[in-house]
Amino acid sequence: MTAVARGPVQGMPFPGTHEGGDRPGGAALFPAGVPAREPGPALIEFDRVAKVYNAADGRPVRAVDSVNGTISAGEFVSILGPSGCGKSTLMMMLAGLLRPTEGEIRFKGKPVVGPQEGFGIVFQDPVLFPWRTVQDNVRLPAEVRGLHKDEQIERARAMVALVGLRGFESKYPSELSGGMQQRVAIARALSLGPSLLVMDEPFGALDAMTREQMNLELQRISLESGATVVFVTHSIAEAAFLSDRVFVMSGRPSTVREILTVDLPRPRAIEQMNTDKFGVYVSHLRSLLNSHGDLSCVGSRSLRRAAPSVCGSRTARLLS
């Protein structure tokens, strides 16, 4: 299926979006505003990517189907879709933790066939080691990589400061709030200077106020670090607030229905969510998910049985 990039008014393209992999022309929805960042050369390419699981009864279940698209260096891209419809499966294939059944994902022109050194990964749960302090959790990837201990500590302290946890280096995970634990997970993912940060609904378990604060922090961190971010979410407002572009996923089997450019200036304040411009983007994203009943999509029992439990293996492979 080919993604169609259009604006809230039917047939109006957004600037810088893609239609079937080609960039159409078209006027900006808000021509008086600050233009969206133009995508540069492709860092990531999805080429007809599909994933099929075998259900418990032996029948194939197609979770992801023919995903196409590109992501450029320095972009913040959200993958938006209803719960249980293949977003995390696509993220795990991008991270090299699952192999596509069909098609190919390329990073810097080379196929992704396993976990990559240039990737940082943040899961839905922080996955921190409870016996290690904040600093020791953050320096773990550098420790596994075999860097000198002084460099491990230097990198960890810099990342702890970047995520706003200076002064908490000696604290243990049990002494931190949920939002603070996720900041530690983000710091750990950034500790080796990845060119790509992959995040799988990292704020889903947080309360609304903490989630808003974490959105602001993530925006700041992404701008300061310069990393390319692929962010999986089922929150429409979160996707619109954080993203340069939003890949809107269909219901299962999931594919990219539309690629939407969010033409709003950065840095974005929470108050921007109250503006008419922001409301147009949110309304359009909601209409895309509503148009085929995708807002009510939930994972089927057969798919849940078919999909492997990878939480433990994800962590082990990330650190290996």
How confident is the model over 202-255, as pLDDT tens digits?
888 788 888 888 899 889 888 988 889 999 998 999 999 999 999 999 887 888
Query: For 178-200, what is each residue's pLDDT tens digit?
Result: 889 999 999 999 998 888 999 99
Reply yes or no on whether the pLDDT at 68 is more than 90: yes
For residues 90, 68, 64, 206, the Cα torsion angle rounded to the nearest 10 degrees is 40
Domain map (residue ranges) of the chain: 42-81+95-117+230-319
Summarize the confidence of residues 2-16 as an average pLDDT. Answer: 36
CATH class of 42-81+95-117+230-319: alpha beta
Higher pLDDT, 225 or 80: 80
- Per-residue pLDDT at 252: 78
Contact 230, 196 (CB under 8 A): yes
Residue 206: predicted pLDDT? 81
Question: For residue 290, what pLDDT is reported?
Answer: 84
pLDDT band for 69, please (50, 70, 90 cuts): very high
Q: How far apart are CA 247 and CA 79, in angstroms?
A: 5
Q: How confident is the model at residue 293 (pLDDT cuts 50, 70, 90)?
A: low
Q: Which pLDDT value is given to residue 297?
A: 44
Shortest CA distance to 49 belongs to which of 140, 116, 111, 109? Answer: 111
Task: Please state the rounded mean pLDDT for residues 95-107.
Answer: 93
Per residue in 163-172, pLDDT tens?
889 999 999 9
Calculate mean pLDDT across residues 113-120. 87
Confidence band for 54, pLDDT divided at 50, 70 and 90: confident
Residue 298 has pLDDT above 90, yes or no: no
What is the token pair recorded at 155? Answer: 């990198």
What does the mean pLDDT of the chain come to?
80
Calculate the dihedral angle through the C-alpha atoms of 221, 223, 224, 230, rounding to the nearest 10 degrees.
60
> Residue length, the chain?
320
- The secondary structure of the chain, three-state, reads CCCCCCCCCCCCCCCCCCECCECCCCCCCCCCCCCCCCCCCEEEEEEEEEEEEECCCCCEEEEEEEEEEEEECCCEEEEECCCCCCHHHHHHHHCCCCCCCEEEEEECCEECCCCCCCEEEECCCCCCCCCCCHHHHHCHHHHHHCCCHHHHHHHHHHHHHHCCCCCCCCCCHHHCCHHHHHHHHHHHHHCCCCCEEEEECCCCCCCHHHHHHHHHHHHHHHHHHCCEEEEEECCHHHHHHHCCEEEEECCCCECEEEEEECCCCCCCCHHHHHCHHHHHHHHHHHHHHHCCCHHHCCCCHHHHHHCCCCHHHHHHHHHC
Backbone angles phi, psi at 281, to 5 degrees: -65, -45
pLDDT of residue 88: 87
Pick the residue with more confidence: 31 or 110? 110
Residue 310 pLDDT level (bands cut at 50, 70, 90): very low
C-alpha distance from residue 181 to each of 186, 202, 210, 319 (Å): 9, 10, 12, 18
The predicted pLDDT at position 311 comes to 35
Is 151's pLDDT higher than 90?
yes
- Check whether 36 has a pLDDT greater than 80: no
C-alpha to C-alpha distance for 292 and 295, rounded to whole angstroms: 8
Average pLDDT over residues 274-285: 94
